[in-house]
Amino acid sequence: MIIKDSHVRANTHTGKAYVGCKLHIPFDGWGDVTFNASCADADLDPQIARLYCPRGCLDLAIYYHRMCDQKLLEEYKSREWGEARLRNKVGTVIKARLELVEEKELVRRATTLFALPQNNLTGLKLIWETSDIIWKVVGDTSNDINWYTKRATLSAVYGAVVLFWLGDNSSESEKTWEFVDRRLADVMGFEKFKSTLRANPAFKPFDDLIRKSLSGIKSPIDHDSPKPGDFR
C-alpha cells in the first residue's frame, strides 16, 4: 500500500508539473528553466517536485511520452480489426499515436533532449515501448525471436516517421502518411523476401540451423507497458 500510495503521489506531482511545462517548452525547451517555471505555475515547491522527478524535465518528457502511449493503448486495446491487413493496422496505429501529440514543438524539443549522449538510451527505450504497444494493439502474439525482431524493425520505422513528421508542413500531414505507407511497404517486402527464401529447398538446411539456434529465445514473461510516472 505504501508503494502504491507513493506511486499515486508521484503521478499527481509529475502531472501537475507537466501541465505547467507545456506553456514553456516551445520557448525554453525541456530544461531547468521550464521545470522551475512549471513548478511555480502549479504552485509546487521545486525541491519537493524533484523528489518525484529527480532528473527534472527529462522525467517530465518521459511522463509525456508514456502518457500518450497509455492513451493509445486504452483507445485501441479492444479494437476489432476484422480482415484488415497487418500493414494497414500498423499504419493506422502509427497515425493515431502521432495525432495524440498536442503540439509538435513538444516532440521537436524532446527529440533534441533525447539526442544528447546521456539521454540517448532513454530515448531509444521509449521508442521501443511505443513499438511494443503498437504490436500489442494490432494483435501480435509472437513469443520467440520474432517478438524482438518485430519491435526492433518497427522502432526503426517509427523513429524515421517521427523525424519526417516533424518537418512535414503538408495539409493534415498527408506527406507523413504517405511516408508511413512507403516504409511499411519496404518492411513487408523484406518479410515476403524472407518467406520466399525459406520456401527454397536449397536454403532449408540453413533455415533449420538458424531456427534451432534461436529456438531458446523467448519473449519476456511479464512485459506490461510502463505507465506515466514510471521512470525506470
Confidence band for 4, pLDDT divided at 50, 70 and 90: very low
User: pTM of the entire structure?
Assistant: 0.84
Q: What angle do the packed helices 104-115 and 57-76 form, to 10 degrees?
A: 120
User: How many residues are present in the chain?
Assistant: 232
Query: Could you give the C-alpha distances from 186 to 132, 189, 194, in angstroms and in order?
Result: 20, 5, 13
Average pLDDT rounded to a whole number, residues 133-145: 90
What is the arithmetic mean of pLDDT over 2-13?
Answer: 44
Residue extents of the structural domains in the chain: 2-214
Q: What would the DSSP string read from start to end of 109-140?
A: HHHHHHHSGGGHHHHHHHHHHHHHHHHHHTT-
3-state helix, strand, coil in the chain (%, to 5): 75, 0, 25
pLDDT digits (tens, 9 = 90+) for 147-174: 888 999 999 999 999 999 999 999 999 9
CATH 3.40.50.300 for the 2-214 domain, yes or no: no
Q: So what's the pLDDT on residue 78?
A: 87
Question: In which band, very low, low, confident or very high, does the pLDDT at 190 lie, cut at 50, 70 and 90?
Answer: low
